[in-house]
Structure 1
Amino acid sequence: MRSSNPVFSRRGFSRDNSGYAGFDAGAQAGAASQGNPYASNQYAGNPYAQPSNPYATNPYAQGGPDLQQGHPQAPARAAGRMTIDDVVTRTGITLGTVIVAAGAAWALSLPVGVGFGAAFVAMVLGLIQSFKAKPSPALILAYAAFEGLFLGVISKYYNAVAYGAPMQAVLGTMAVFAGVLIAYRTRIIRVDRRFTRFVIGASIGFLLLMVANSLFAVFGGGDGLGFRSGGLGIAVGVVGVLLGAAYLALDFKQIEDGVAYGAPREESWLAAFGLTLSLVWIYTEILRIIAILNND
C-alpha cells in the first residue's frame, strides 16, 4: 500500500503487511532488489539484505531491533544514498530560506494582500512538487521563499494584535518538534497503518471544516462558524497543532525508512520539504491560538 503522505506517496514508499511504512518494503533478506524501488543490479548485494547484517530485515516488519526512531543509525551506505546528515543539511537550507524571506517581509512591512498572494503561490508550488516524479531543489526553495513572505506578513499582523506572539509561536513549534521526536524515538508514538489512516482522515475533516468556516465568513460576514475565535477557536487550534505533530511523526518514519532502504541522496530534499510543511502548519496554528488567548 502506498504511503498516504502526499509528499512521499510518489517516491515508492509503502507499508508492509504488518502496517509499517517503508520503501515498498519487500526488502527482506534475499528480496532487496524486488521490494526496494531504489535497488538495482549495482546494489543487488545490498548489505541490508544479507542475513549476517543486523538490518537484514525490516525490524518494523518482524519486531526486530529498533533503528533508533527519528535518527536511524544505519550502516554506511554506498555513495549517493540519503543519510541523516543530508536531511539535516537540506532542512536547514529550506527553513533558512523561510526565515530570511519572513524577516524581509516583516522589515518591508508588506501589505496583507501581498502576503496572501505569496501564500497562494507557495501552495501552487507545493502541489507541483508533491506530484513531480523527482524532487526539485529550486522548486522547493521557491516554495520556501514564498511561504516565508506569507509568514512574515501574518506574523507582523499577529504581533500587532498580541505583542510577542510570533516568538512565542516559534518557541511552541520547537517544543512540539522536540516532543514528537522524543516520543517517536522512544516508541510512545508508533507510526503504523492505523495511525496513518487516522491522521489522513482527521486532516481531511479538519480542512473541510476550515473551508466551510471560511466560506461562511466570506458570504455571511463575521467569524463564519466561529471555528477561529473564542473557546471553540482555541479547541480547533489545539486539534490543528496535534495534526501537525502527527504529520511530523509520519515525516520521521519516512526519513527513517529512506535511510534504511538506501533512497537516493536527492530524496533528502523531499524530506526537508515535508518537515517544512509540517512545521509551518504547527507554527500558524500556535500563532492563532496565542492571538485568541490574548484577545479574550
Structure 2
Amino acid sequence: MESRNPVFNRSEGFSRGGNATFRDVPTPTPGSLEEMYRRPSAGPVQTGRMTIDDAVMKTLACFGVLLVGAAFAWFVAPGLAFVGMIVGLVLGLVISFKQSTNPALILSYAAAEGLFVGGISAVFNDQWPGIVSQAVIGTLAAFGAMLALYKTKVLRATPKFMKVLTIAGLAYFGVALASLVGALFGVGDGWGFYGIGGLGVLLCVAGVALAAFFLVLDFDFVEQGVRNGLPERYSWLAAFGLMATVVWLYVELLRLLAILRGND
C-alpha cells in the first residue's frame, strides 16, 4: 500500500510500485536530523482518519440535501411524502445493515427523507398552522440540550445506558408498528394507539424522549470514531446516524404537538 506518512509519500521507495534504494542518499547532517525531529507528527487529516470537522461537514451536507427535498415536497408535491417514506426506509435499512459509507447512498437517503419530512410538514401545517415552526424549534432545542449534557458528561454512552436504550427502542418500535397496523383498521380515528386519549400523549412523549437519548449514542459514535482512528469515510456513516435520529425526533414532536392541538 502507498504510505500516507508525509515523510514517505514522496519517496519512490514508499510509493505504489516503487523500489527502495540507498544509492546516492546523502549522509544526514546533525542540522537535518534536528529539523526532521522537530517536524510535527502526521495528524488525522494527513493520515486519512476521521475528524470532528469531517463529521460536522458531512452532516451539514446531508441536511442541505434534506432541506432541498423538503422544500420541493412542501411547495410542489406534498404527495411525495409517502414515496419518500418508503424509499427512505429501504435505503436506511440497507445503510444500517451494511454499515455503508457510500456518499451517494447516504445523500439519496437524505433526499428521500427530505421528501417525507416536507410532505408531512405541509399537511400538518395546513391542519394546524404554525405547528411546523414549533416542532423545528423544539427539535433544535432538544438537540442542543442533549449535546450540552453529553459534552458536560452528565449523560454518557455507558454499556448499561446503551443496553437499556436499545431495549426501550426496540419495544417502542414494536408498539409503533402495532399502532400502524391498528391505524389501517381505524383505531384511534386513523392515528392508531396515538389517537387513544392519554395513551397517545404518553407514547409520543416516550418517542420524543427516546429519540433525544439516541442522540447521545450518535455523539458517542463520532467521538469514539475519532479516538479509534476510523477512516475518514466513516464520517458519512456518522452523518447518516445523526440525520436519522434528528428526523425521528422532529416527527415525534410534530405528532405530539398535533395530538395536543387536536381539539383546536
**Superposition TM-score tier, normalisation by shorter sequence:** 0.7 to 0.9
Distance change (3 Å), C-alpha of 1:216 and 1:144 = same
Distance change (3 Å), C-alpha of 1:194 and 1:94 = same
Whole-Å Cα distance in 2 between the matches of residues 285 and 203 of structure 1? 13
In the alignment, which of 258, 268, 283 is matched to residue 250 of structure 2?
Answer: 283
Whole-Å Cα distance in 2 between the matches of residues 125 and 109 of structure 1? 21
Whole-Å Cα distance in 1 between the matches of residues 60 and 171 of structure 2? 31
Give the alignment of 1:108-257 within 5 angstroms: 108-111=76-79, 114-132=80-98, 134-221=100-187, 222-223=189-190, 226-257=193-224
TM-score under structure 1 length normalisation: 0.71
Q: Which amino acid aligns with 2:48?
A: G
* Equivalent in the alignment of 1:92: 60
* Equivalent in the alignment of 1:8: none
Give the alignment of 1:16-165 within 5 angstroms: 76-77=43-44, 78-111=46-79, 114-132=80-98, 134-165=100-131
* Equivalent in the alignment of 2:16: none
Whole-Å Cα distance in 2 between the matches of residues 230 and 251 of structure 1? 33
Question: Secondary structure of 1:295's match?
Answer: coil
Whole-Å Cα distance in 2 between the matches of residues 199 and 192 of structure 1? 10
* Equivalent in the alignment of 2:239: 272
Q: Which amino acid aligns with 2:246?
A: L
8 A contact 2:74–2:122 mirrored in 1 = yes
8 A contact 2:211–2:245 mirrored in 1 = yes
Q: Which amino acid aligns with 2:175?
A: L
RMSD: 1.9
Whole-Å Cα distance in 2 between the matches of residues 239 and 124 of structure 1? 25
Residue by residue over 1:35-94, the C-alpha shift from the partner in whole angstroms, topping out at 9 and shown as x without a partner, is xxxxxx989xxxxxxxxxxxxxxxxxxxxxxxxxxxxxxx94343111111111000000
Question: Secondary structure of 1:265's match?
Answer: coil
> Deviation at 1:231?
2.7
Q: Which amino acid aligns with 1:93?
A: A
Q: Which moved more, 1:160-169 or 1:276-285?
A: 160-169
Structure 1 residue 294 corresponds to structure 2 residue 261: yes
Distance change (3 Å), C-alpha of 1:229 and 1:107 = farther
Q: Which amino acid aligns with 2:131?
A: A
Question: Secondary structure of 2:161's match?
Answer: helix
8 A contact 2:186–2:192 mirrored in 1 = no
Question: Rg bigger for which structure?
Answer: 2
* Equivalent in the alignment of 1:16: none
Residue by residue over 1:94-130, the C-alpha shift from the partner in whole angstroms, topping out at 9 and shown as x without a partner, is 011111100110110432xx31122111110111111
8 A contact 1:228–1:236 mirrored in 2 = no
Q: Which amino acid aligns with 2:163?
A: R
Distance change (3 Å), C-alpha of 1:131 and 1:42 = same
Question: Secondary structure of 1:263's match?
Answer: coil
TM-score under structure 2 length normalisation: 0.80
Q: Which amino acid aligns with 2:249?
A: I
- How many matched pairs? 223
> Deviation at 1:261?
1.1
Residue by residue over 1:152-189, the C-alpha shift from the partner in whole angstroms, topping out at 9 and shown as x without a partner, is 11000110121111111111110011000010111111
Q: Which amino acid aligns with 1:159?
A: N
- Unaligned 5+ segments in structure 1 are 1-40, 44-74
Identity %: 41
Whole-Å Cα distance in 2 between the matches of residues 191 and 232 of structure 1? 29
8 A contact 1:162–1:290 mirrored in 2 = no
